[in-house]
Amino acid sequence: MAREAGLEVFSEEELEPFEEYPEGFLPAQGSETLPRTLYATIPTIASFRQMLSLWRAHQRDETAPNGAAPWWEVFDLLLELRPWGPEDRLGEDARTIIEDRLAFTPDDDQISIEFEIWPTESAAKRKKWREEVELRVASRAGTILDRSSISETGFVYEALLVELPCMAVREMLANPNDINGLASIEGIQFILPQTIGQALPNGSDKAEDDNALQGTFDENAPIRVALLDGTPVAAHRALDGGVVIEDLHDLVPLSPVSQRYHATAMASLILRGDLQADGAPLTDTRLISVPVLIDQESGAETAGNRLFVDIVHTTLMQLIGTDEPVAPDIFVVNFSIGVRDGHFAGRISALARLMDWWAATEGLLFVVSAGNVGSLVLSRTTTTAVENADVTSRRMNIRGAMRNTIFNRTLLAPSEAMNVLTVGALSLDLTHHASPQQAGIFKLEDDGEFVPQVTSAVGLGLKRSIKPDLLEAGGCLEVRARPYGHDVKLCSVDRSSRTGLVTASPPGQNAIQKSRGTSPAAALVTRSLLRAAESLTGEGGPYEGRELTRFQNALLTRALAVNAARWPQDAIDLYEEERARLGKNQHLRAKEEVCRYFGHGYLNNLLMCESPEGGVTLVGLGKIRKDGAQIFRMPVPPSLSGEKLPRSMRVTLAWFSPVDTSRAQYRLAALKAATINEPNDEDDGNWGFDMKSDGLDENIIKRGSVWSKRLKNRVQTIPEFDEGANIPIRVECRDASGGGLSPDDDISYAIVVTLQVETEVQFDIHQEVEQELRVRLS
């Protein structure tokens, strides 16, 4: 309606309702509800005055003047009309972070601040507003460190990174409404602390590895994966021949070789996995490393004089976006980087928007670590009580503490992005470590349990979508319990040689380290994606001998990963606990709570590359448009007809949705699958095998850009099928934004279906389906 009234809508944000406030949290001014929708527009001053006059007339219940009826339709939806002001540009979260960075800093020192300009498509407006910011910064003895102006179809970003005297920033915070102040500039959308991407070493002291490594890398293999991180030690014997470093931003000389921990570990895990549990090199790909961070003793960080969003965008442009791309064959980007203090609070970050745009436009699959969060405070207890508690009691206390501090443990940007694969970490090693534990150090889980690391950031994502998408082993996390006033603080043991994933390490060619956290978990998922892509086109694969496009590789492997994720028993136990805690008729919220920690589940790597025992996995590709539908026909194994067998089925769709930040419904395209044949048929929901939903509800799986439904029946007889029968799986596409999706947009997608008999049988379902498909193709 706002557009029909002639406004250029820059952003429309739908704020999520709070169903349960954590301990100690109350809405502002005692309100019981929070505003749901904010329309942000910037008309001219004259047009705003006219609009304000109309608004006042509407508030007096006057009839709309001639030609103003569209305005009355807009006003009927509004609670308040006011210009975008300092309190909007300088939000409470940003203010708090800036104040923390200012603490104990002299007035004459400098601090870096980012100014994001309204993302209008008008280059002239953006230039005018940028120049006004530059003038006011100069008047306060500030310096422009970096500028970014990105104007692509579907993504606009205009920003300045400035260095200001601390006194000037303190004045802005103290009096944001000053008409001549920085926060009152019309063209500013947000004033933010500098976006600092960081990757912590989180490893043990290095040691020498005398074990022989399996195989070598093919130096002529295509480059299919990009690592955006610090600088790896490419000459390490675990990486030699598999890594190409492209120093697009002149950062390599700034990273001492002895400090190149993080990128070296990530490259090692991608190319060889855990060096003790696996160690086999990828045979069909090499890795290109583009340093976007500077390695130092405390970890890797972004350059202090650059806008991180601009660094990432220019990196991707040079890799695949020019007429002479540096790495045209890449389809997956490993991004084990989190933004410091960048906790997701409902508003998607510019970096996440950038990744969503690249995914939808170019078919890049970003694998992003969910982020690592800090220590956890357990209230009203003692270190002795915590150390001596049994695992069940300790876990109940930890879950309560995490619920009460949920706003400080949310996803770190850019892992909230809709089109990326967000990875959380299980407290799990891939090799057995038998060294004795030191006094005061303990694990939070029993051996064999699949529990998220207590430091792994939790979801949900944008519009309560499932985030993280899945979990992977992130190394066994040990903790110490330390007194904290009348409470206890659980602190992770970051440097330990007892636990963790075994990776390459600087500085020498044989050094190894132990790595823990969401970063190594994401790297292992990237490795699984690359191996799955190889199996798709390799001998015996469904696309044997074919060269898949970037979009096809990205979507197929993304769908396979989610389809291969399983809730472990610990997730099911958590669901039952949440149902008991929340009370009757709260099963949906209970499942959402499980998704915060487990997403779709723990990744079963074998199921990405082969069918399960007693089952078959089918994959497919397609393109679809708004309100369109396509039908895939899954052959029915003849031996199943009329048999009383426990069976399960999983159907997963993955697509890269176009996005529009000017709409509250940021995601434009929503896909789903149904068991119907013709448009007038009804979906009975049992998928032809008399099965019902087992796992996540439709209301949860429909929110993101992956749709994955699981069904099961353990006791009833399978219906009888005629020879040559098949199950129609109808893929449908709708506009999820209320008008933003063009009917001319092709939405590429992948579908993965797994049918499994969960008992030993004398026949081979995989072979029967394969034979039926051969008959169809002949």
- Please give the structure tokens belonging to residue 224: 């299919």
Distance (Å, whole) CA 426 – CA 283 = 27
Distance (Å, whole) CA 267 – CA 223 = 13
| Sheet of strand 615-624: strand arrangement | 615-624, 747-757, 647-655, 706-713, 692-693
| pLDDT score of 13 | 54
| pLDDT score of 78 | 77
- Please give the structure tokens belonging to residue 149: 């102006």
- 480: nearest Cα among 492, 468, 471: 492
| pLDDT score of 502 | 94
| pLDDT score of 15 | 47
Residue in the block written with tokens 């890398």: 217
Distance (Å, whole) CA 714 – CA 617 = 19
| pLDDT score of 777 | 47
| pLDDT score of 510 | 84
- Please give the structure tokens belonging to residue 517: 């956290």
Residue in the block written with tokens 């708004």: 626
DSSP string, 292-353: -SEEETTEEE--TTS-HHHHHHHHHHHHHSSSS-S-TT--EEEE--EETT-B-SSSPPHHHH
- 754: nearest Cα among 645, 644, 619, 635: 619
Distance (Å, whole) CA 133 – CA 181 = 10
Q: Is the peptide bond before 414 cis (omega within 30 degrees of 0)?
A: yes
Domains of the chain: 9-41+43-75 (no CATH), 86-194 (3.30.70.80), 199-565 (3.40.50.200), 611-777 (2.60.120)
Note the pTM of the prediction, 2 decimals. 0.92
Cβ(302)–Cβ(293) below 8 Å = yes
Q: Is the peptide bond before 119 cis (omega within 30 degrees of 0)?
A: no
Half-sphere exposure of 433 (CA within 13 A, CB side): 20
Q: Which amino acid is at 547?
A: E
Q: For the CA atoms of 384, 386, 390, 394, what is the dihedral angle to 10 degrees?
A: 170
Distance (Å, whole) CA 38 – CA 27 = 17
733 CB-near residues (< 8 Å, 6+ apart): 624, 625, 626, 627, 628, 629, 669, 670, 671, 747
- 505: nearest Cα among 188, 293, 272: 272
Distance (Å, whole) CA 609 – CA 529 = 9
- 618: nearest Cα among 721, 759, 765: 765
Burial label, 690 (beta-carbon count in 10 A; 0-12, 13-18, 19+): middle
- 230: nearest Cα among 295, 282, 311: 295
Within 187-334, where are the H helices?
A: 261-272, 308-320
Count of Cβ atoms closer than 10 Å to residue 395 Cβ = 21
| pLDDT score of 31 | 47
DSSP string, 153-184: TTEEEEEEEEEEEHHHHHHHHH-TT-TTSGGG
Residue in the block written with tokens 């120049």: 131
Strands 9-14 and 143-152: unpaired
- Please give the structure tokens belonging to residue 372: 């690592």
| pLDDT score of 260 | 95
Cβ(627)–Cβ(743) below 8 Å = yes
Q: List, run by run, the mean pLDDT of 10-residue segments along the chain (778 residues).
A: 53 49 44 49 66 87 86 80 84 92 89 94 93 96 96 94 96 92 92 94 64 85 97 95 97 95 97 95 95 94 97 98 96 97 92 97 98 91 88 87 90 97 96 70 86 95 95 94 91 84 89 94 98 94 94 98 96 93 90 95 95 92 96 89 89 96 83 87 80 86 95 87 87 91 95 89 77 58
Count of Cβ atoms closer than 10 Å to residue 150 Cβ = 19
CA angle 599, 605, 606 (to 5 degrees): 135
Q: For the CA atoms of 97, 100, 101, 103, what is the dihedral angle to 10 degrees?
A: 160
- What is the per-residue burial (b if ≥16 Cβ within 10 Å, else e) of 550-572? bbbbbbbbbbbbbbbbbbbebbe
Strands 706-713 and 647-655: antiparallel
Q: How far apart are the first and last CA of the chain?
A: 54
CA angle 415, 419, 425 (to 5 degrees): 40
- 748: nearest Cα among 546, 562, 555, 550: 555
Return the SS3 of 265: helix
CA angle 304, 310, 312 (to 5 degrees): 95
- 362: nearest Cα among 574, 494, 551, 641: 551
Question: CA 436 → CA 274, 380, 448, 496, 498, distances in Å?
Answer: 21, 30, 18, 12, 8
Return the SS3 of 710: strand
DSSP string, 45-97: HHHHHHHHHHHHHHHTTPPPPTT-HHHHHHHTT-S------HHHHS-HHHHHH
Cβ(497)–Cβ(205) below 8 Å = yes
Count of Cβ atoms closer than 10 Å to residue 479 Cβ = 23
DSSP string, 454-501: TTB-B---GGG---S-EEEE--PPEEEEEEETTEEEEEE--S-SSSSE
